[in-house]
Structure 1
Amino acid sequence: MRVVYHLPLSPFSRKVRLVLKEKGLDFDLKVERVWERRPEYLALNPAGQVPVLVDANGLTIVDSWAIVEYLDEIYPDRRMLGFDPASRAETRRLAAWFDGKFYVEVTLNLVFEKVNRRFYNLGNPDSGAIRLGKQNINYHLDYIAHLAERRRWLGGDEFGLADITAASHISCVDYLGDVPWDAHPRAKDWYVRVKSRPSFRPLLADHVAGMPPPPHYADLDF
């Protein structure tokens, strides 16, 4: 059985979990408390980050991008990156947008400050960073609405890695109740469609000890 080492509110781990589910591949989950710096885990990934995939054949793949590319090559029946060069390029562009720009401008300022800081014993959250994250997310939700108005899914006609990457980050922020859905109905409509997919439901069951999500988090109809 393949194994995914993850953290519940790691968007990069969520991305890999969604891709595996969309491909219909079974896997076990193991929570890895990366702040503990376990020697056994560092032997798998010297960077000490999640996710890590240990495939059923024993191969270890590190980094969410490497894992997704590997899965699309080994299990091509349900491609997440698209079926032609143009769609793959657009999918990669948007996935990089959310893994890079959104992560720096929103995820780090909200999820890291509110959740990860306490595990790393880094003191109180930075209120300025939290305010900045709450401001920045509006721009990204506007961009999602812009894409959703012009395409069936963010990357084009097919649900794929662009949607998965965006939803992985947004779902982590939504766990904290920090997504202003009422101000962004078009983005909300897109997210409702994503989180209604069977692959997404296990993520909605994730919980962080001492930090319950808001009531709407697991509600498929908000």
Structure 2
Amino acid sequence: MRTLFHHPLCPFSRLVRVVLAEKRLEFALQAEKFWEARPEFVALNPASETPVLVEDNGLVLCDGLAIAEYLNEIHRDPALLPTDPAPRAEARRLVGWFNYKFHVEVTDQLLGQKVFRRLGCHRAEPDSRRMRAAFAAIHDHLDYIGWLTERRAWLAGPTFSLADIAAGVQISCLDFIGDVPWDDHPAAKDWYARIKSRPSFRPLLADHLPGLPAPRHYADLDF
């Protein structure tokens, strides 16, 4: 069986988990403390970053987006990118927005300061300035999600796509630590409620970390 080396609060690992579930592909999960640079893991990915997918035939794939695109090409049903070039480009633009811009401005700052520092991934003292900037930035991103969903059924167009997964997994990590201001963004909240209700997403809602309980609403589909 294929194996996914992941961390429960790595959004890119979560991206691959949702894609695998959407494609109804069986896989085993192997939790990895990537910051420890375990030699066996570094042998799979010299960058010592999650996720890493090892296929049944021994093929090793690294980088969340590269793995997601690979799975979408090899296992075409259901398609997670539009077939027409222009809509496909828009979906990929939004994947880039959430994988890079949102992650750099918000997820990496809050998770890095509040979670991975506690786990031993970072040694410096928490930077409150960076956290304040991330809390300010998340409002702009949630406003953008609301703007998109007021004009489209899903983020990139009429159908659920990799863009929704990319956005949903970033937000899910922040929701795990209670850092999403849902009351200020009802349109984004409605979109995320639809994401949470998908069977592919529900295993993420069962994730837990010792000593870091998720807030009560995290797994609630009617939050």
Q: Which residue of 2 aligns with 1:198?
A: 199
Distance 1:41 1:151 in 2: 41
Q: Which residue of 1 aligns with 2:140?
A: 139
Distance 1:77 1:219 in 2: 29
Deviations 1:13-47 (A, max 9, x none): 00000000001101000001111111111110001
After TM superposition, what 4+ stretches of structure 1 lie above 6 angstroms from structure 2?
Answer: none
| 1:24-103 to 2 correspondences below 5 Å | 24-103=24-103
The alignment status of 1:217 with 2:218, answered yes or no, reads yes
Deviations 1:121-174 (A, max 9, x none): 514321111111111100000000000000000011111100000000000001
CA RMSD of aligned residues (A): 0.9
Which residue type is aligned with residue 129 of structure 2? Answer: G
Distance 2:155 2:13 in 1: 20
TM-score by length of 1: 0.98
Distance 2:6 2:82 in 1: 25
Distance 2:215 2:72 in 1: 34
Distance 2:100 2:124 in 1: 25
Q: Which residue of 2 aligns with 1:2?
A: 2
SS at 1:150's partner residue? coil
Distance 1:188 1:162 in 2: 16
SS at 2:125's partner residue? coil
Q: Is the 8 A contact 2:117 2:123 kept in 1?
A: yes
Cα distance, 1:78 vs structure 2: 1.2
SS at 1:122's partner residue? coil
Which residue type is aligned with residue 200 of structure 2? Answer: S
Q: Which residue of 2 aligns with 1:185?
A: 186
Structure 2: gaps (5+ residues): none
Q: Which residue of 2 aligns with 1:114?
A: 114
Q: Is the 8 A contact 2:112 2:122 kept in 1?
A: no
Deviations 1:78-134 (A, max 9, x none): 111222211210111000000111011101111111011122251432111111111
Structure 1: gaps (5+ residues): none
- Aligned length, in residue pairs: 222
Which residue type is aligned with residue 115 of structure 2? Answer: V
SS at 2:150's partner residue? helix
Which residue type is aligned with residue 45 of structure 1? Answer: N
Q: Which residue of 2 aligns with 1:172?
A: 173
SS at 2:70's partner residue? helix
